[in-house]
Amino acid sequence: MATFDLNNDGVVVIIGSGAGGGTLANELAQKGIDVVVLEAGKRFDLGDIENDEWAMFNKISWLDKRISAGGWHGAVNHPSLPTWIVKGFGGSTIHWAGVSLRYKEYELKTRTTYGEITDANVEDWPIDLDELVPWYEKAELKMGVTGRTTGMPHLPWNNGFRVLAEGCRRTGRKNYNSGPMAINSVERDDRPACQQIGFCMQGCAIGAKWSTMYTELPRAEDTGHCEIRTDAMALMIEHDASGKVTGVVYADAEGNRQRQKARLVCVAGNSIESPRLLLNSASTMFPDGLANSSGQVGRNYMTHATAGCYAVLPEKVHMFRGTAVAGIVGDEVRNDPARGFKGGYTLEFLSLGLPFMAAFLEPGNTGWGRSVARALEQYDRMSGVWVVGEDLAQEQNRITLHDSEVDQYGLPVPIVAKTPHNNDTEMVNHAYEVTAEIYESVGATDVYELPAYPATHNMGTNRMHADPSKGVVNAYGQSHDIANLFVSDGSQFTSSGACNPTLTIVALAIRQAEYIAREMSANNI
Amino acid sequence: MKVRFHRQRPAPADHAGMSRRMFLMTTTLTGVTTACLLGGAGRLSAAALDGGQSATLLRAVQDIYPHPDLLSLAHYQAIVDAVGAGADEDEAKAAALTDGLARLDGLAQSLYGKPYVEVEDPDAREGLLRAFQNEAFFQDVRWTAYFAIYDNKEIWPLFGYEGSSVEHGGYIDRGFSDITFVPQGPTLEERIAQVQQ
């Protein structure tokens, strides 16, 4: 691994080592561009991965102080855990399940498709699907996504998904399968085939699932053009009198403040930390925070309209055997306002281990007693889904900074406010009903409806928009206000779609790397 | 959690009978535990709790996560011991626990004219506990019980959960797709054909 001097102002500084930051770092380093990655968490490797839900939660989660606010149940039931993401080498690509869906064209053009929606702030992306497809293909090849692009077959169907799939067949659905997943179904790219271990979201113990931890990051280091500093928490981005960013102040492992100079800065700290860093970098010149002339930094926080739904079948299922998300149902991903809501949702088979099922079946202080215990005695006969529905952007769903409380770095604690739109509520209720129908058709008796989990899909807080007054960054993730400041994570998403964000984050990062290399060569940045 | 009691739901289980069984079992054990304490023997670790309160706590942890057909009294007694050990290490926690259990009994007395452990109706006992569920002492007991039961590798097999698999080569040869009440998924050949250009 290369090392770069703190005063080297020719480097690209990337904040975060997950899907966005890790991919961007490798793409730039492969082109010979010098990169310093600042990762707030520890360095992990495969030896740190255990098949244990709580042990891994405690080991890898981002547990710095955060305040969960707004009208969603988590403000009460998960008051300090609004999100479920990773602090560490590889970021949330350690935790993600591998689902690699593309946006649909209408999901990128939500304002045009849905029109104006009361109490929402829905806009079009400044990119259309045709433009994204080649980048999706590059991402699929990089990550090893099962399906036509790679020619890698989808994974074999496990028990839990077979129950769901049969229910789909009996209720006339057509679009259900065990992919596309960024999990090797055959040995590929120096990584083994999936062994149906389960615990995908605790980190894949053999590296069959794509994660930047053992792909992009070590490969970037091997180029000699990338230095990754772990335990390096970015505190503030600095700028000069012309308004160009000049470097990043960060806390190192000993808590000492360091200043890494930079030619450009790319923010990829996930949708809480990225806007938080821009807001914390406010200056006399930029009193509302960096890149915030639109006032949209931190706003339009989207998770997904989401829920869990678990059915009890007449026979044993043992849903925990095999991949965590073993199948995807796409029939409900369409904009059909006759259903009572705009946009659509994906149903994804998701197994939970007994510990997490017992914690999330009924989260909060009320989750005990005879009904909960009775449900848990049916654990080995359960199959269920996670609902991934389009969540509408709303300005008031946002990240703000606490005015007095600070974290261990002395930074104001972020307040993460989320109130579901009526559209979300209608959609989730529809998803509960559809899921119950699907499982009833295969003999389900009781069906349990779970509320949203702390969000792993966090999007929108530095969104793209063609109009600088309505968004923070342009179609390349470049700040409208500051040419050498980029956003490289899911916070640049304009809409949430009904798909897991990682594939799109990676596709955008590959595209952004091309753009940055071009603009650097042309000396535009 | 909202439960949908669906059209195909079988006849409700005989939960009243089950609870009655549980009640008799624990009432018996309560006597044993109290006797141990009075005799100065036994494994009761909580100096903070007297025998009566230990019995109340034992009844409460069974009502928090009642699994009379899966778990033994020893499982629940271990939770009581863990809660007691925690109280012994923290004076404020011990005070909150003894105060909370006293108020639980007080509420039972005022509503049913008897201490909590003597209330026979499990719904009534759960109702009494619900009155305290937003208090720290209760949640402390509840989460201790949660981890002792659902995050306990020795108990997992009783719920049909098999846990860690990487050391066994995963579930690929250990039943990941072994159910017979729904059709098989596509074969490898079919899955390959699906993705051919």
What residue ranges define each of the domains in chain A, with the CATH number in brackets? 12-521 (3.50.50.60)
CB contact under 8 A, B177 and A157: yes
**Is-contact B28 B105, C-beta < 8 A?**
no
Which candidate from A152, A185, A373 shows the least CB-CB separation from B66?
Answer: A373
- Using pLDDT thresholds of 50, 70 and 90, give the confidence band for residue B86: very high
**Is-contact B185 A161, C-beta < 8 A?**
yes
Structure tokens at B91: 């004076």
CB contact under 8 A, A318 and B133: no
Residue B64 pLDDT > 50 = yes
CB contact under 8 A, A154 and B191: yes
Predicted local distance difference test score (pLDDT) of residue B48: 77
Chain B residues inside the 8 Å CB shell of A316: 160, 179
Name residues 25-54 of chain A within 8 A of B (Cβ).
Answer: 50-54
The CA distance from B130 to B64, in Å, is: 10
Give the other-Cβ count within 10 Å of B157's Cβ.
10
The CA distance from B166 to A71, in Å, is: 40
- Write down how long chain A is: 525
Predicted local distance difference test score (pLDDT) of residue B5: 57
Nearest CA in chain A to B71: A377
Token match 């530095």: residue? A462
In a domain, B179, yes or no: no
Quote the minimal CA–CA distance from A149 to chain B in Å. Answer: 8
Predicted local distance difference test score (pLDDT) of residue A70: 96
The CA distance from B61 to A510, in Å, is: 54
| Cβ-proximal residues to A74 (8 Å cutoff; 6+ apart), any chain | A68, A81, A82, A363, A418, A452, A454
Residue B38 pLDDT > 70 = no
In a domain, B168, yes or no: no
The CA distance from B124 to B23, in Å, is: 13
Which candidate from A147, A159, A444 shows the least CB-CB separation from B179?
Answer: A159
Q: Is the peptide bond before A156 cis (omega within 30 degrees of 0)?
A: no
- Using pLDDT thresholds of 50, 70 and 90, give the confidence band for residue B22: low
The CA distance from A486 to A268, in Å, is: 9
Residue B32 pLDDT > 50 = no
DSSP code string of A2-62: ----TT-TTSEEEE--SHHHHHHHHHHHHTT--EEEE-SSB---GGG--S-HHHHHHHHB-
CA dist A166 → A175, A280, A449 (Å): 12, 51, 20
CB contact under 8 A, A163 and B142: no
How wide is the angle at C-alpha A57 spanned by C-alphas A53 and A62, nearest 5°? 160
Residue B41 pLDDT > 60 = no
Nearest CA in chain A to B62: A369
Predicted local distance difference test score (pLDDT) of residue B23: 53
Predicted local distance difference test score (pLDDT) of residue B44: 46
Q: Does A429 touch chain B (CB under 8 A)?
A: no
Give the other-Cβ count within 10 Å of B166's Cβ.
16
Residues B125, B130, B133, B135, Cα dihedral to 10° = -90
Chain A residues inside the 8 Å CB shell of B151: 53-54, 355
In a domain, B82, yes or no: yes
The CA distance from A11 to A31, in Å, is: 13
Residue B6 pLDDT > 90 = no
Residues A479, A483, A485, A489, Cα dihedral to 10° = 40
The whole-angstrom distance between residue B4's C-alpha and the CA centroid of its chain comes to: 23
End-to-end CA distance of chain B: give it in Å, rounded: 44
Q: Which of B159, B182, B184 to mutate to test the interface with A (most CBs of A within 10 A)?
A: B182
Structure tokens at B150: 């659902």
Nearest CA in chain A to B148: A355
Predicted local distance difference test score (pLDDT) of residue B2: 76
Chain B residues inside the 8 Å CB shell of A371: 1, 3
The CA distance from A91 to A505, in Å, is: 13
This model of the complex carries an ipTM of 0.95
Which candidate from A146, A359, A369 shows the least CB-CB separation from B195?
Answer: A146
Work out how many domains chain B is built from and give that number. Answer: 1
In a domain, B69, yes or no: yes
Name residues 346-365 of chain A within 8 A of B (Cβ).
Answer: 353-355, 357-359, 361-362, 365
A110, amino acid identity: T
In a domain, B42, yes or no: yes
Q: Give the range of the structural domain holding residue B70, as residue numbers without chain letter.
A: 16-159
In a domain, B148, yes or no: yes
Rg over alpha carbons for chain B, rounded to the nearest Å, is: 22
Binned average pLDDT, 10 residues per bin, chain A of 525 residues: 96 98 98 98 98 98 97 95 97 98 98 96 97 98 98 98 98 98 98 98 98 98 98 98 98 97 98 98 98 98 97 98 98 97 98 98 96 97 98 97 96 97 97 98 96 96 98 98 98 98 98 98 96
Q: Which residues share a beta bridge with A38?
A: A15, A229
Name residues 195-214 of chain A within 8 A of B (Cβ).
Answer: 195-199, 205-206
CB contact under 8 A, B171 and A152: no
Tell me which residue of A244, A282, A292 sits closest to A264, measured CA to CA: A244
Percent of chain B scored above 70 by pLDDT? 77
Which candidate from A54, A206, A447 shows the least CB-CB separation from B4?
Answer: A447
**B156-181 residue pLDDT tens:** 999 999 999 999 999 999 999 999 99
Tell me which residue of A215, A273, A225 sits closest to A248, measured CA to CA: A273
The CA distance from A501 to A404, in Å, is: 33
For B145, the enclosing helix (H) or strand (E) is: helix B136-150
**Is-contact A313 A494, C-beta < 8 A?**
no
Quote the minimal CA–CA distance from B40 to chain A in Å. Answer: 33
Give the other-Cβ count within 10 Å of B146's Cβ.
21
DSSP letter assigned to residue A99: B
Tell me which residue of A420, A426, A401, A432 sits closest to A496, measured CA to CA: A420
Phi, psi of A341 (to 5 degrees): -155, 160
Chain A residues inside the 8 Å CB shell of B15: 370, 374
Predicted local distance difference test score (pLDDT) of residue A313: 98
**Is-contact B43 B81, C-beta < 8 A?**
yes
In a domain, B187, yes or no: no
The CA distance from A153 to A185, in Å, is: 6
Q: Give the start-end residues of each E strand in A293-398.
A: 305-312, 327-329, 345-349, 382-389
- Using pLDDT thresholds of 50, 70 and 90, give the confidence band for residue B73: very high
**Is-contact A483 A244, C-beta < 8 A?**
yes
Residue B30 pLDDT > 70 = no
Tell me which residue of B176, B180, B160, B6 sits closest to A435, measured CA to CA: B6
Provide the angle, in degrees to the nearest 10, between the axes of the packed helices B91-112 and B73-89.
Answer: 130
CB contact under 8 A, A199 and B176: no
**B101-139 residue pLDDT tens:** 999 999 999 999 999 999 999 999 999 999 999 999 999
| Cβ-proximal residues to A302 (8 Å cutoff; 6+ apart), any chain | A391, A392, A393, A397, A457, A458, A459, A460, A493, A495, A496
In a domain, B169, yes or no: no
Structure tokens at A104: 């649909």
